[in-house]
Amino acid sequence: GDSVTQMEGPVTLSEEAFLTINCTYTATGYPSLFWYVQYPGEGLQLLLKATKADDKGSNKGFEATYRKETTSFHLEKGSVQVSDSAVYFCAPLSGGSYIPTFGRGTSLIVHP
C-alpha cells in the first residue's frame, strides 16, 4: 500500500522565517498529492494539491511541487506568520484508490 514519510516536528520558527516541511511517499501509478492543515481544536482542511508531475500547488503563500523523480512533495512558505502555527499533513492518493494515506503530521510553531 501507499506510505508517506514526513519530517518529525515540532518545527519552531520565528515570524517571517522560511519554512520547508519535507514529504516523501511511495504509491502505485501516478498519485495525486495533497497537503492538509489542522489548526488547533479543528479538523483538517485542504491546503493545496497537485495531480501530475511537475505541477505546483499553491495557497495562502504555501507552495509544493510534485517531484515524481524523487517521489517528494515538500511544503514551502517564504515568510511564515504566527497564524500559520498548525499541524501539516502530507497525503498521497494512488491512482485507482479513493482514500488518501495521511502522514503522521508535522507540527509548526511560529513565534512572534
Partner 1 sequence: NAGVTQTPKFQVLKTGQSMTLQCAQDMNHNSMYWYRQDPGMGLRLIYYSASEGTTDKGEVPNGYNVSRLNKREFSLRLESAAPSQTSVYFCASSEGGNKIVYTFGSGTRLTVV
Which residue shows C-alpha cell 511560529?
110
Per CB under 8 A, does 28 bind partner 1?
Answer: no
Per CB under 8 A, does 41 bind partner 1?
Answer: yes
CA 2 – CA 90 distance, rounded (Å): 12
CA 72 – CA 70 distance, rounded (Å): 5
Per CB under 8 A, does 29 bind partner 1?
Answer: no
Closest distance of CB 47 from partner 1, Å: 11
Q: Which residue in 102, 107, 93 sits closest to 38, CA to CA?
A: 107
* Residue count, binding to partner 1 (CB under 8 A): 19
**Grid cell listed for 52:** 501530475
- At position 9, the amino acid (one-letter code) is G
Which residue shows C-alpha cell 523523480?
69
Per CB under 8 A, does 73 bind partner 1?
Answer: no
Interacting positions 87-106 with partner 1 (CB under 8 A): 89, 93, 98-100, 102-105
Per CB under 8 A, does 57 bind partner 1?
Answer: no
The binding site for partner 1 (CB under 8 A) comprises 32, 34, 36, 41-46, 49, 89, 93, 98-100, 102-105
